[in-house]
Amino acid sequence: MSPLRFLICLTAGFFLGLSNLYIGLRLGFVYGVAILAAFTWTGLKLILPRVAGDNGWVETALFLSMASAMSFGCGTVISTSLSAFIMSGAPLPPLYLLTLWVSAICGLGTCLALPLRRRLLAELKFPSGTVAATTVKNLDRGKPGMALFSWTLLVVWIWVALRDWLHLVQARFPAGSPVLHLQSSPMLLGLGSLLGPRICLGMLAGATCFFLAAPAVFGATASKSIPWFAVGLMISAGLLDFGRSLRGLAPAEESRPVSRRHLPVTLSFAAVLCLLHAIIFDFSWIYLLLAAVVVWPFAVVACRVTGETDVVPTGALGKLSLLIFSMVRPAEVGAMTAATGVLTGASASSADFLNDLRCGRDLGCPPARQFRYQLAGAVLGPLIFVPLLFYLIRDNPLGGEVFPAPAAQIWLEIAKVLAGGEGAGFPIFALGLACGALVFTIRLRFPKMPGAVPFAMAAFLDWGTTATLALGALLARFIPAIRDDAFCCALIAAESAVVLLLLLN
């Protein structure tokens, strides 16, 4: 790939990464952008055929890897660990050190996936990678999917301009109550259609209980107790569900040595992380040793669960790592959230790379070339988005209306509980743990019942957001055209990127 094409990849990866940055700070999770990247690269080939090139599907696979690496692992660390660290009130180290820290995490995770690729790609499906490869093969000139994607982008851009720039459309549609409202957000509708009715209705049920029923029953004290209950519910239900998902999977792969060419790169990222943790987070040697020991098993588990279920278990692994660190040696809340970022961020990057390798394998892309672009995206993404995060939160602080960062709030509350800083909420926290275990037991009997994790996540959003997600899921359920990948991806990409660009002005 020529330098010009690499620059195009970098630019397009930036806009795709903006989408995940906004979603992570707004809703608390990130999504794989491989399918969205497939539509983007196909559009570039239609608009700039000479620049994009026509080297079969190899160039497309390289673009997918770079865009996905810039977006997924970096977005995971920013929306969880880094945001929780910022909100903890701990002294912030220099920006360049934090940026280097996130880059080293994502780079290490990419390298950890290498010794897993042969065995896991042969055994497991990795559905997102397979679907992305199929999408690339079907997106030729004149295909309806590309036309639908382009027209949807244009319509959403016009809608967002009318709403956020010209202020001719209300951002919220009230329904007679300050709490009850719908949001005029195409992104939420697209995400709801991708998540499905079960998850979205579970979130809506949680928001109804937390924001309508609980204040009516318990009064003003409910707002202080809800976060403790939700965190306890999410810990027990999430970890129990995660443990059940490991049943039936193949035994853990025997460690295969990393090739001599990649071993120095892996060790370099590990050394940088150790040095940064000692400098900016003042970690003890126990934390450093523990992180070095468990990062590999965490990456193996994340890759295996992702290959089997198509879900990266970031939330469960994050809670588990907080528990591990607290049992070994409780520390300051900020240090605990930072330590967790290494394990979950590296695991998420490993799982994302194996999904991209599955796509590249189906498209005939050499793994060595794909690794170089994946690693470039993993390292360059944080160099762009971490400084961008600090620029955005100058006027819109984390935990506020614009960027509620619900996942980071959850991790911060868990760290406070485990550090023993706020013992007054332990009874409510214990009640949440018990309820999570009860929900898990009931779901063993009724597996189609919504899980407790989406229910608990609603405590850190608002009723309008969850209602709009549920509306998107129901519309997709009854209108087949809305379930189209091109339509959903365009809804998500258009609004999230444009909103952030407007906020930068």
Over its length of 505 residues, how does the chain's per-residue pLDDT go in tens digits? 567 777 877 887 888 888 888 888 888 777 777 777 777 777 777 776 665 555 667 888 888 888 888 888 888 899 888 998 888 888 888 899 999 999 999 999 999 888 888 777 887 777 678 777 877 777 755 566 677 777 888 888 888 888 888 777 777 777 656 678 888 888 888 888 877 888 888 889 988 998 888 888 777 777 777 877 887 787 777 677 666 655 555 444 444 444 556 778 888 888 888 888 777 776 666 767 777 788 888 888 788 777 765 667 787 778 778 877 777 665 677 777 877 888 888 989 998 999 899 888 888 888 888 898 899 999 999 999 999 999 988 888 888 888 888 888 888 888 887 776 554 566 887 888 888 888 888 888 887 777 787 888 788 778 888 899 899 889 888 887 676 667 877 787 778 777 777 766 5
Query: Which of 315, 317, 337 has the alpha carbon at shortest distance from 234?
Result: 315
Question: Given the DSSP bridges, would you call strands 172-174 and 181-183 parallel, antiparallel or unpaired?
Answer: antiparallel
Beta bridge partners of 4: none
Query: Which of 78, 98, 72, 60 has the alpha carbon at shortest distance from 17?
Result: 72
Tell me which residue has tokens 């906020």.
503
**pLDDT digits over 15-67, tens only?**
888 888 888 888 877 777 777 777 777 777 777 666 555 566 788 888 888 88
DSSP string spanning 221-261?
GHHHHHHHHHHHHHHHHHHHHHHHHTTTSPPPPPP-PPPTT
Q: Look at residue 244 in the predicted model and tell me its pLDDT.
A: 63
- Residue 499 one-letter amino acid: V
Alpha-carbon dihedral 60, 65, 70, 74, rounded to 10 degrees: 150
In whole angstroms, how far apart are CA 13 and each of 129, 291, 403, 488?
A: 17, 30, 22, 19
Tell me which residue has tokens 């301009």.
161
Give the integer Cα–Cα distance in Å for 360 and 440: 37
Give the integer Cα–Cα distance in Å for 407 and 396: 17
Q: Are 82 and 341 in contact (CB under 8 A)?
A: yes
Q: Are 354 and 116 in contact (CB under 8 A)?
A: yes
- DSSP letter for 398, please: B
Query: Which of 48, 31, 196, 62 has the alpha carbon at shortest distance from 136?
Result: 62
Query: Which of 43, 17, 60 has the alpha carbon at shortest distance from 359?
Result: 60
Q: Are 401 and 93 in contact (CB under 8 A)?
A: no
Q: Are 75 and 401 in contact (CB under 8 A)?
A: no
Alpha-carbon dihedral 197, 201, 203, 208, rounded to 10 degrees: 160
**Helix 314-328 and helix 406-419: axis angle, to 10°?**
20
Beta-carbon-side half-sphere exposure of residue 375 (alpha carbons within 13 Å): 16
Tell me which residue has tokens 């093969």.
137
Q: Look at residue 481 in the predicted model and tell me its pLDDT.
A: 67
Q: Helix H segments across 329-462?
A: 333-363, 367-392, 406-419, 426-445, 452-457
Give the integer Cα–Cα distance in Å for 399 and 78: 14
**Helix 197-208 and helix 463-478: axis angle, to 10°?**
150
Give the integer Cα–Cα distance in Å for 178 and 175: 8
Give the integer Cα–Cα distance in Å for 304 and 199: 22
Tell me which residue has tokens 């109804």.
208
The structure's pTM equals: 0.78
Percent of the chain with pLDDT over 70: 85
**pLDDT digits over 78-105, tens only?**
988 899 888 888 888 889 999 999 999 9
Q: Look at residue 386 in the predicted model and tell me its pLDDT.
A: 93
For the chain, the domains span 3-504
